[in-house]
Structure 1
Amino acid sequence: MHRRFETTTTRQQRTLDGTWEFTTEPPNTDSMPEAFPADADTVPVPCAWNALPEYYDHHGPAWYRRTFSLPESESVRIRFLAVSHEATVYLDGEERVEHSGGYTPFEFVAEDLAAGEHELVVRAENGRSETTIPLPETDWFDYGGITREVVLETVPDVFVEGFDLQYDLGVSESGGGSEEDGGETARIRADVHVANLDDDAERTVAVTVGETTARETVTVPAGGETYGLEFDVPSVERWTLEEPTLHDVHVALEVDGEVVDDRRDRIGFRELAVDGRDILLNGDPVDLRGVNRHEDHPEWGPAQPLRIMREDLARIREAGMNCIRGSHYPNHPRFLDLCDEAGVLVIEEIPYWHFDAEDFAREDLLERGVTTLEEMISRDRHHPSVFAWSLTNECANEQEGVAEATERLAETARDADDSRLVTLASYNEWVDRGEDRCLAHCDFACVNGYYGWYTDERVSADQWTGFLERVKADHEMPVVVSEFGAGAVEGERTWERGKWSETYQTEFFETVLPVLLGDDELAGFTIWQFCDTRTSRDPMGRPKSKNNKGIVGEYRRPKAAYGTVKQLLSGSEPDTDADT
Structure 2
Amino acid sequence: MSGMGGIAVLALMTLGAASVAQPIAELPLTSATLLRNGESAELAPSVGRFGPTQDSVDLPGAQQLHSQLQWTCEGIAEGDYVLGLPMLAPQYFTVGEYLAGRVHLYLNDERLLWAGHTEPRKPEDAAEKGLYQTELRTGARVHLSPGDALRVVYAHPHGAVTVGALQLYSAPPADPLVRLSSPDWGRPQTVWLHAWLEEAQREGETVRQPLALVNPGSRPRTFTLRAEAKDHVQRVLLDSTQEITLSPGERMTQTFELQPGDSGRARLAITAAAEGVWPDVRLSRFYVSDRTQGPRPNTCLNGEWQMCYVTGAEPGDAPPADAEWKPVNVPSAQPNDPGHCAWYRRTFPGPPHVRGERIVLRCGQVLTEAWLYLNGQPVGHELHGSQPFEVDLTPAFRPGQANELLIAVRDWLSYSPKNLERVRRGEAPIYKDSMIDVAGYTGAAKLGIADSIWLEARPAVSVDDVTVVTSVREKQLRVHYRLVNRGATDQPTTLAATVREAGQIAKTLPGATVTVPAGKTAEVDLELPWADPKLWWNDDPHLYVLQTDLRPRDGAADRHVQRFGFREMWIDGIRLVLNGTPVKIRSAWASGASGLYQASEQWKPEERLRAIWDWQTECIHHRDHQLTRTHNMAGVEEACDIADETGLMIKLEVEVSQVSFTFDQAFWNAALAAEVRAIEKYKNHAAVVMWSAGNENMWGWIYQGEAAKTLGNRWQIKIAKAMREADGDLMGGWEHHALHYPRELNQFPDLPNGAWWGPLDGKTVVPYSMGPITLGQKPLTVGESFWPATLRHPFGETLLIGDDAYLGGSFMWEAWIEQARYFLNGFRDVEFALIDTYVPLSMLPPQAVVLKQEDRAFVGGQRLHRDLNVHNDLRRPADLTVRWTLITDRQVAGDEVALAMAPAELKRVPLSVALPAVREPTTATWKVELLEGGEVVHQETRDWTLHPAAAIRVPEGLTLSVYDPLGETAAMLDRLRVPYDRLRGLRAPREGALLIGRDALQQAPQGPWREALETFVKGGGKVVVLEQSEAPDFLPVPLTISKDRRMTMAYVRASDHPVVAGLGDQDLRWWTPDQYVSVGNYRKPVRGS
TM over 0.5: yes
Instruction: Give 2:835's aligned residue.
Output: 525
| Structure 1: distance between partners of 2:317 and 2:810 | 50
Match 2:756 to one of 465, 471, 478: 465
CA contact (8 A) 2:436 2:666 kept: no
Q: How much has 1:153 moved relative to structure 2?
A: 0.6
Q: Residue type of the partner of 2:720?
A: A
Q: Which amino acid aligns with 2:297?
A: Q
Q: 1:394 to 1:195 in 2, by over 3 A?
A: same
Shift of the alpha carbon at 1:107?
A: 1.3
Name the SS for the 2:378 alignment partner.
strand
The aligned counterpart of 1:445 is 737
**CA offset digits 1:150-196 (Å, max 9, x no partner):** 1211122222212112233456xxxxxxxxxxxxx533233232333
In the alignment, structure 1 residue 154 sits paired with structure 2 residue 451: no
Q: Alignment partner of 1:47: what SS?
A: coil
Aligned CA distance change for structure 1 residues 157 and 102 (closer, same or farther; 3 Å)? closer
The residue number in structure 1 matching 2:805 is 497
d(CA) in 2 for partners of 1:43, 1:140: 18
Which of 672, 677, 685 is 1:375 aligned to? 677
2:574 to 274, 277, 290: 277
- How far apart in 2 are the matches of 1:497 and 1:569? 26
Corresponding residue of 1:179? none
Give, in angstroms, the shift of residue 29 of structure 1. 2.2
Structure number with larger C-alpha Rg: 2
User: Does residue 517 of structure 2 align to residue 221 of structure 1?
Assistant: yes
Q: Does the Cα contact within 8 Å between 1:186 and 1:236 map onto a contact in 2?
A: no
8 Å CA contact 1:198–1:222 kept in 2: the answer is: yes
The one-character-per-residue Cα deviations of 1:386-425 (angstroms, maximum 9, x if unpaired) are 1121111111254112112113223445xxxxxxxx1114
**Aligned: 1:62 with 2:380:** no
Aligned residue for 2:110?
A: none
- Secondary structure (helix, strand or coil) at the match of 2:447 reads coil
Distance 1:33 1:90 in 2: 9
- 1:368-407 correspondence to structure 2 within 5 Å: 368-396=670-698, 398=702, 399-407=709-717
Report the TM-score when normalising by structure 1.
Answer: 0.75
1:45, CA displacement in angstroms? 0.7
Q: Which residue of 1 aligns with 2:1081?
A: none
* Matched ranges for 1:254-269 at <5 A: 254=551, 260-269=557-566
Equivalent pair of 1:452/1:460 in contact (CA under 8 Å): no
Q: Read off the aligned partner of 1:165 and give its amino acid letter.
A: V
Q: Which residue of 1 aligns with 2:314?
A: 29
Calculate percent identity across the aligned residue pairs. 20
Whether 1:327 and 2:631 are equivalent positions in the alignment is yes
**Equivalent runs, 1:27-106 vs 2, <5 Å:** 27-34=312-319, 37=322, 39-50=324-335, 57-58=337-338, 60-70=340-350, 71=352, 75-101=358-384, 103-106=386-389
| Deviation at residue 32 of structure 1 after TM alignment | 2.6
Partners of 2:326 and 2:736 in 1: CA distance: 49
- 1:61 partner letter: C
**1:298 and 1:168 mapped to 2: Cα distance?**
34
Q: Offset of 1:247 from its aligned partner?
A: 0.7
**Residue 186 in 1 paired to residue 476 in 2?**
yes
**Given that residues 366 and 409 in structure 2 are in contact (C-alpha distance below 8 angstroms), is that contact kept between their aligned partners in structure 1?**
yes
Summarize deviations over 1:33-59 as a string: whole Å, max 9, x none: 256656410101111124xxxx7x545
Task: Give ranges in structure 2 of 5+ residues lacking alignment.
Answer: 1-230, 234-262, 265-290, 413-430, 703-708, 759-764, 798-802, 849-936, 939-1089
- 2:842 match: 566
**Is 1:203–2:506 an aligned residue pair?**
no
1:300 matched to 2:604: no
* Equivalent in 402, 409, 421 of residue 117 of structure 1: 402
The 2-side partners of 1:456 and 1:240 are apart by 38
Secondary structure at 1:508 match in 2: helix
Report how far residue 109 of structure 1 moved. 1.5
Q: Which amino acid aligns with 1:364?
A: A
Distance 1:441 1:85, change over 3 A: farther
Aligned to 1:353: 657
Residues in 2 aligned to 1:134 and 1:459: alpha-carbon distance in whole angstroms: 41
TM-score by length of 2: 0.42
Letter in 2 for 1:395: N
Aligned residue for 1:423, secondary structure, equals: coil
SS at match of 1:76: strand
Say which structure is richer in helix.
1
- Which of 349, 352, 362 is equivalent to 2:664? 362
Report if the CA contact (8 A) 2:459-2:556 is conserved. no
Q: Indicate the residue corresponding to 1:416 in structure 2.
A: none
Provide the secondary structure at the position in 2 that maps to 1:145: strand
Kindly tell me: are residues 197 and 249 of structure 1, through their superposed partners in 2, closer, same or farther at Cα, counting changes over 3 Å? Answer: same
Cα displacement (A) at 1:66: 1.3
In 1, the alpha carbon distance for the partners of 2:338 and 2:487 equals 41
Counterpart amino acid of 1:484? S
Contact 2:432/2:660 (8 A) holds in 1: no
Q: CA deviation at 1:481?
A: 1.0
User: CA, structure 1 residues 298+227, in 2 after alignment: closer, same or farther (shift >3 Å)?
Assistant: closer
Q: Contact 2:537–2:647 at 8 Å: present in 1 too?
A: yes
Paired letter, 1:336: C
Structure 1 pair 254–276 and aligned structure 2 pair: CA distance change class (3 A): same
Is contact 1:199–1:222 with CA below 8 Å preserved after alignment?
yes
Opposite residue 779 of structure 2, the aligned amino acid is P
Which amino acid in 2 is paired with 1:163? V
Q: Any stretches of 5+ residues in structure 1 without a counterpart? A: 172-184, 414-421, 427-435, 529-560, 574-580
| Residue identity opposite 1:49 in structure 2 | Q
1:202-256 C-alpha deviation (Å, 9 max, x unpaired):
2211222232233222222101322323232544112123322211111221258
Contact kept, 8 Å, 1:459 with 1:508, in 2: the verdict is no
- The whole-number CA distance in structure 2 between the counterparts of 1:501 and 1:458 is 21
Following superposition, the deviation at residue 568 of structure 1 comes to: 4.2
Distance 1:362 1:401, change over 3 A: same
Amino acid at match of 1:62: A
Provide Cα deviations, 1:259-303, integer angstroms capped at 9, x if missing partner. Answer: 821221111111211112111111221111102154664893697
Which AA in structure 2 matches 1:339?
A: A
**Counterparts of 1:461 and 1:96, CA distance in 2:** 63
Who is 1:108 aligned against? 391
Q: Displacement of 1:322 after TM fit?
A: 0.9
Q: What residue in structure 1 maps to residue 467 of structure 2?
A: 164
Cα offset, 1:380, TM superposition: 1.1
Of residues 277, 301, 325 in structure 2, which corresponds to 1:16?
Answer: 301
Q: 1:481 to 1:140 in 2, by over 3 A?
A: farther
Contact 1:459/1:511 (8 A) holds in 2:
no
2:600 maps to amino acid: W
Q: CA deviation at 1:24?
A: 0.6
Higher RCO by CA contacts (8 Å cutoff, separation 6 or greater) = 1
Q: Which amino acid aligns with 2:845?
A: L
